């Protein structure tokens, strides 16, 4: 096991990793920006280093200061969490060059899967179905030619992308020029890489992803699927659940087979997720995330496996102490992401001070958060302030439990998505289950009225 | 439960450092060094320009003027700080811009310069100490 682990992240995931390390008996080193000095992840770690000012480029992406903090504190491993440097193959290489174990897959695998266009090619070679689409399109004219092959509607996607950034739907030829320009500009601003590719837009698909864990001895298992179809108009996930409700058994089995085939094709190690679009019987590979994901707790709840601890054990060279036949999902888990955002104003992010914070508890409820009464939300970072997870025997009971948990939650000082999520949980179509990724943006939101607002006529 | 570095540190602050600091405050000492078998403590008091009695009426412009006299030189990198020879100590007068220390990070020497003339009013670190981003290294008296 490691001597000491540096956690190269902030917020709830930094706390989550710290908890896993503490339970494994491994001391931790936190890093923080000047804006996060009072943050909970700094207080919970055994040691902490300020690595730069608030803006991420100078702190949480400041590779020299992060590596230096690891070396002078005597850490021998770095956990990148999600976002920031988690899928930066160069960072993983730099860690290895300095004798620091990067807790994640091999840098070459991160590079292969991180470049979405390359990943699609590798997956197609492994026999995993991908959405019809193109390689990199360098110009609007090239995009137009590729779109003619697959037909409208299409998605323009950033090759370096993720989290819905640099992604635009194009429904008609006359929209192409405008969408291409904005997608490229957004990709350049977000990833410093403006390369785009075209993907056929599958109508009303569900977003279903499969969790993989692989050790360095060659064992690879899946831990079922997560349905992440409830997404904001910006394609960011809002509610996730496991298992996917009423997914036909043969479709589910094919998803698992494809995910394992994909993992084997790249000799995948550590935790990773294969994201698919599922439309009826059709399954299309979208992308692979070579890191722990925000929504990992729903899998942990139904499988009773601590994915973050497994990541650390695997990176330390230990083999998985279970096989596929040992893994059995129990019940149903739902996660609601609580964001400091205003749902009635296009989910505009809010910064400020939380004057009052009360989180729910009780049976089957888990809260992953770095928030407390008096905590600041700096303007530089992601707007997610908590994840509330409810686990019960059935989906119906999990929804009821989540409603109860959200009713207990009080967050004052900034606008949040709590009331919005409660309205989604009460929506008959959500309750019926199996809605597609477009549902929230195109069906639910147009008919939704913010609490306290007069109903539109 | 193993004792973490942090808990040991917090105990040390409570049992050894705080009483020393209180004793320092009660006197006019600005620096105290204590060496024992298992522990070496050095406390350096931050320069506090013209202490104002709490009850007194404070003229904000005067306070601002005297505070502005000291300029904090802080670390830009996470690393190990090393003093550059000739070593600048409290009271050293720098006639012009010079390197007073460097922060060694990943084998690279990142100079810490005085950026002009001044007198070293305080040194907050010891040679070979690990420093973080923004950590105060020196206080410079520009008015000297």
- Check CB contact under 8 Å for B77 and A25: no
Q: How far is CA A295 from the centre of its chain?
A: 6
Work out the minimum CA distance from B109 to partner chain A, whole angstroms: 12
What's the confidence (pLDDT) of residue B5? 56
Burial of A24 (0-12, 13-18, 19+ CB in 10 A): middle
How far is it between the farthest Cα atoms of chain B? 54
What's the confidence (pLDDT) of residue A122? 87
Of A65, A95, A97, which to mutate for an interface test with B (greatest number of B Cβ within 10 Å)?
Answer: A65
Of B4, B9, B132, which to mutate for an interface test with A (greatest number of A Cβ within 10 Å)?
Answer: B132
Reported as a single tens digit per residue, the pLDDT across B22-47 is: 777 777 666 677 766 566 777 776 65
Reported as a single tens digit per residue, the pLDDT across A206-257 is: 999 999 999 999 999 999 999 999 999 988 999 999 999 999 999 999 999 9
- Check CB contact under 8 Å for B79 and A47: no
DSSP strand pairing (A28-33 vs A47-52): parallel
- Check CB contact under 8 Å for A64 and B105: yes
Count CA atoms within 13 Å of residue A420 on its CB side: 28
Work out the minimum CA distance from B59 to partner chain A, whole angstroms: 30
Residue of A nearest to B130 (CA): A72
Does ipTM come in above 0.90? no
Give chain B positions within 8 Å (CB) of A72: 78-80, 130
- Check CB contact under 8 Å for A51 and B105: no
- Whole-Å CA distances, B2 to A25, A309, A310, B9: 8, 19, 22, 14
Residue of A nearest to B78 (CA): A65
Spatial separation of the C-alpha atoms in residues B107 and A128, rounded to whole Å: 46
For chain A of 457 residues, list the mean pLDDT of each consecutive stretch of 10: 98 98 98 96 97 97 98 98 96 98 98 87 87 88 92 90 83 94 92 90 93 98 98 94 96 96 96 95 92 98 98 98 97 98 94 95 98 95 96 98 98 96 97 96 93 59
- Check CB contact under 8 Å for B133 and A59: yes
Reported as a single tens digit per residue, the pLDDT across B65-104 is: 444 568 999 999 999 999 999 999 999 999 999 999 999 9
Which residues share a beta bridge with A412?
Answer: A356
Q: How far is CA A282 from the centre of its chain?
A: 23
Helix (H, G, I), strand (E, B) or coil at B10: helix
Count CA atoms within 13 Å of residue A161 on its CB side: 28
Spatial separation of the C-alpha atoms in residues A414 and A416, rounded to whole Å: 6
Neighbours of B36 (CB within 10 A): 8
Give the active site residues of A.
Answer: 291
- Check CB contact under 8 Å for A69 and B132: yes
How many interchain CB pairs under 8 A, A with B?
Answer: 51
Burial of A457 (0-12, 13-18, 19+ CB in 10 A): exposed
B132 closest CB neighbour out of A50, A71, A98: A50
Structural tokens at position A166 = 């640099």
- Whole-Å CA distances, A270 to A92, A95, A105, A224: 13, 16, 5, 16
């Amino acid at each position: 096991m490691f001597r000491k682990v540096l956690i190269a992240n902030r917020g709830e995931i930094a706390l989550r990793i710290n908890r896993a390390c503490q339970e494994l008996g491994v001391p931790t080193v936190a890093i923080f920006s000047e804006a996060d000095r009072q943050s909970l992840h700094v207080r919970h770690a055994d040691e902490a280093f300020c690595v730069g000012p608030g803006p991420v480029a100078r702190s949480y992406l400041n590779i020299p200061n992060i590596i230096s903090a690891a070396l002078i504190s005597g850490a021998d491993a770095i956990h990148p969490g999600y976002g920031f440097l988690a899928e930066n193959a160069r960072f993983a290489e730099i860690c290895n060059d300095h004798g620091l174990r990067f807790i994640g897959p091999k840098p070459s695998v991160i590079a292969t899967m991180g470049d979405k266009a390359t990943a699609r090619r590798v997956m197609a070679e492994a026999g995993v179905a991908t959405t019809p689409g193109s390689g990199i399109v360098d110009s609007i004219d090239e995009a137009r030619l590729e779109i003619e092959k697959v037909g409208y509607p299409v998605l323009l996607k950033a090759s370096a992308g993720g989290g819905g950034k640099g992604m635009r739907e194009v429904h008609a030829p006359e929209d192409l020029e405008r969408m291409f320009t904005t997608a490229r500009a957004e990709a350049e601003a977000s990833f410093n890489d403006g390369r785009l590719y075209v993907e056929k837009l599958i109508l009303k698909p569900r977003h279903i992803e499969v969790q993989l864990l692989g050790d360095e001895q060659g064992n690879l298992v899946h831990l079922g699927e997560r349905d992440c179809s409830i997404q904001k108009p910006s394609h960011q996930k809002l509610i996730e659940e496991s298992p996917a409700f009423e997914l036909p058994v043969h479709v589910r089995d094919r998803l698992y087979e494809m995910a394992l085939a994909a993992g084997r094709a790249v000799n995948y190690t550590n935790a990773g997720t294969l994201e698919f679009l599922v439309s009826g019987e059709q399954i299309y590979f979208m992308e692979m995330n070579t890191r722990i994901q925000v929504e990992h707790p729903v899998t942990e709840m139904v499988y009773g496996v601590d994915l973050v601890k497994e990541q650390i054990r695997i990176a330390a060279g230990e083999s998985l102490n279970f096989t596929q036949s040992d893994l059995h999902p129990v019940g149903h888990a739902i996660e609601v992401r609580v964001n400091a955002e205003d749902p009635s104003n296009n989910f505009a992010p809010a910064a400020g001070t939380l004057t009052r914070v009360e989180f729910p508890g009780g049976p089957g409820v888990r809260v992953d958060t770095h928030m407390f009464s008096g905590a600041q939300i700096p303007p530089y970072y992601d707007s997610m302030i908590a994840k509330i997870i409810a686990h019960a025997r059935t989906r119906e009971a999990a929804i009821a439990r989540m409603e109860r948990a959200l009713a207990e939650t009080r967050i004052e000082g900034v606008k949040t998505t709590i009331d919005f999520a409660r309205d989604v949980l009460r929506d008959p179509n959500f309750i019926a289950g199996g809605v597609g990724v477009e549902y929230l943006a195109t069906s639910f939101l147009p008919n939704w009225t913010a609490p306290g607002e007069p109903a539109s006529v | 439960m193993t004792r973490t570095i942090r808990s040991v540190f917090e105990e040390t602050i409570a049992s050894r450092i705080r009483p020393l600091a209180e004793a320092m405050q009660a006197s006019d000492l600005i620096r105290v060094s204590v060496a024992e078998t298992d522990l070496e403590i050095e406390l350096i008091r931050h320069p506090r320009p013209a202490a104002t009695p709490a009850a007194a009426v404070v003229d904000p412009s005067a306070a601002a003027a005297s505070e502005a006299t000291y300029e904090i030189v802080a670390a830009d990198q996470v690393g190990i700080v090393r003093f550059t020879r000739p070593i600048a100590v409290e009271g050293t007068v720098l006639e012009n811009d010079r390197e007073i220390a460097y922060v060694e990070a990943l084998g690279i020497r990142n100079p810490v310069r005085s950026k002009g003339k001044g007198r070293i009013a305080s040194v907050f670190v010891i040679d070979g100490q690990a420093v973080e981003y923004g950590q105060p290294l020196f206080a410079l008296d520009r008015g000297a």
